[in-house]
Structure 1
Amino acid sequence: MRWPRADYHRPVTPPPAATGLPAVPLTVAAVQAEPVPADVAGNADTAGRLVRRAAERGARVAVLPELFLPAYHPPTLAADPAGTDVAADPDGRIDDPRLDALRAAARDAGSVVVIGAAVRRADGRRTISSLVVDRAGAIRVGYDKQHLWSGEQELFDAGDRGATLLVDDWRFGLGICYDGCFPEHGRAAAADGAHGYLCPSGYLTGSEHRRDLYYAARALDNTMYVVFANAVGGADPWRFNGGAAVYDPEGRPLARGAGVGERVLVAALDPGALAATRAAHSMLLDRLPDQGLARSAVSA
């Protein structure tokens, strides 16, 4: 299910009661790893290895960083769009042999994978996207990044709507990096009934404070789990700081990676904890429908 971009700019309503809560826990993995610029096939191989590693620890969903397949390296993305992009058909399906190792890993592990890519859409747009690899190994575009950061605007087109990924009876809003800096984005996912928020990202060295604040805040704001995957390594000025994490619905890290090195962070999402948090912290129900729209001036 998708939510229109307009939802980010108007009052939201509480999550639909019909969505309810998941019946059983779900184990997820947040991955931090270092891709090689322009090596889509090699990075897909690395992703496949990490997906298998996550599955060995029980993960049924694995989230990898933003633009992991081509690597987040703007000079290379600008110089070689043909080599760094994957092509999507009009329905968003991806059929690229460079990703075969990733398909096989998802299929063999029985895992759902969310991974960052540069996508050439059938209408000619180029987007920063999250690909979703299902348990049968089929790949499609799940979500296009809506909030483009800095020089991304010179290389890519912004997405025009949000997306909710259904895995078993869990609902996950999809965001990418800078999207998570906007409270409205996570709130729109929660308004669509999301139990969690999956955020492939690319945070540079020096941004550790913001990296650790934004996604914990999105979890607490919306009493939902957040899975934050981040790149690591690279050469200045494109050196990334890791810190991948899974946050509980109060914004506490269930698992967090160091600032260096490859990591697969695994945590169980518990519907009981989700229910207890939402009972104790009822912001989604108590938020006023016209909050902040009608204002009065007070003189002092």
Structure 2
Amino acid sequence: MAGPGLAGACHDQGVTSLLVAAGQAVPTNGDPAANVALAADLTRRAGARGVRLLVLPEAFLTGYDWAAFDRVRDTGQPRVETLEELTEPLRAAAAEAGCAVLVCTPLLRGDDMRLTTLVVRPDATVEAAYDKQHVDRLELPWFTPGPRGPVVLDVEGVKVAPAICYDSRFPEHAATAAACGAEVYAVSTAYLEGSTRGRAVSLPARALDNGMFVVAGAALGTCGDRPVTGGSCVLDPEGHELATLGTEPGLAVAELDLDLLAEVRARQTMHADRLG
């Protein structure tokens, strides 16, 4: 899945733009079926606006909640072997909307549970595409870190690198993806009340340091008794906001100008000048 090089444009040369959305809504903690239906609704709404890539928050299919993670262990679901059945409504919505969806869920593989980005494509397929590599210490009672190394997906001829929340706090995670051709850093994230400084600093820095667009779907709801604060956004390759949400459900929609990306990379060569 990794692509070549960093200099200039890496997308298909006939592709000049991509309409994207970062989505957020309040999930039902511990109810994957209800949250798949919620993701399907967001997908249809995004498709009605012409969106071709929708990025949803961290752990969206269960809710970002400790008790919900316990329930995954207790019920044995979601599990990689039953993904197609679980996501059928979302796969149908993606096909109807003509929109690729990146949605994060806790996912069991044997005895391991990982935080996984699923890619649901307009051909109604689903793939467990990426596992969170940097697992926060609060999450370690439940989750195993995923294998190291970048994953770069092709979406409408544009190179997209998935990331999950804490991954984005580590500059080398985005830098490695950019070095493998990524043009969009697609982050599924969750910020508990009191932890939003990371969103304000890290996401623009990842964009600016690597000349990449950032599309971040941020969770709403509660984790136990702590609010989860939203703040989904789309950033340009210099870290400027193209679209953003506060604490309300909705879609942050923006068009990614890939000619601008090539221009920024030609003008600001930090990523190309990185030492060794």
**TM class, shorter-length:** over 0.9
**How many angstroms does 1:14 deviate by?**
5.6
In structure 2, give the amino acid aligned to 1:61: L
In structure 1, stretches of 5+ residues that fail to align are 4-12, 290-300
**How many angstroms does 1:166 deviate by?**
0.7
User: Pick from 12, 15, 35: which aligns with 2:6?
Assistant: 15
Sequence identity of aligned pairs in percent?
37
**How many angstroms does 1:237 deviate by?**
3.4
Q: Which residue number corresponds to residue 75 of structure 1?
A: 67
**How many angstroms does 1:138 deviate by?**
1.1
Larger radius of gyration: 1
Question: Hey, what's the Cα distance between the residues in 1 that align with 2:67 and 2:224?
Answer: 12
Question: Hey, what's the Cα distance between the residues in 1 that align with 2:218 and 2:270?
Answer: 28
Q: Which residue number corresponds to residue 24 of structure 1?
A: 16
TM-score, normalised to structure 1's length?
0.86
In structure 2, stretches of 5+ residues that fail to align are none
Q: 1:65 to 1:279 in 2, by over 3 A?
A: same
Aligned pairs for 1:50-199 within 5 A = 50-83=42-75, 85-89=77-81, 94-96=83-85, 98-121=86-109, 123-161=110-148, 162-199=150-187
Q: 1:273 to 1:2 in 2, by over 3 A?
A: closer
**How many angstroms does 1:206 deviate by?**
1.5
How many matched pairs?
274
Question: Hey, what's the Cα distance between the residues in 1 that align with 2:56 and 2:118?
Answer: 10
The alignment's C-alpha RMSD in Å is 2.0
User: Pick from 18, 22, 27: which aligns with 1:35?
Assistant: 27
**How many angstroms does 1:124 deviate by?**
2.9
Question: Hey, what's the Cα distance between the residues in 2 that align with 1:19 and 1:265?
Answer: 25
User: Pick from 34, 45, 56: which aligns with 2:37?
Assistant: 45
Question: Hey, what's the Cα distance between the residues in 2 that align with 1:197 and 1:233?
Answer: 24
Question: Hey, what's the Cα distance between the residues in 2 that align with 1:18 and 1:236?
Answer: 44
**How many angstroms does 1:79 deviate by?**
4.1
**How many angstroms does 1:235 deviate by?**
5.8
Q: Does 1:200 align with 2:188?
A: yes
Q: 1:80 to 1:278 in 2, by over 3 A?
A: closer
In structure 2, give the amino acid aligned to 1:233: G
Q: Does 1:285 align with 2:276?
A: no
User: Pick from 255, 258, 264: which aligns with 1:271?
Assistant: 258
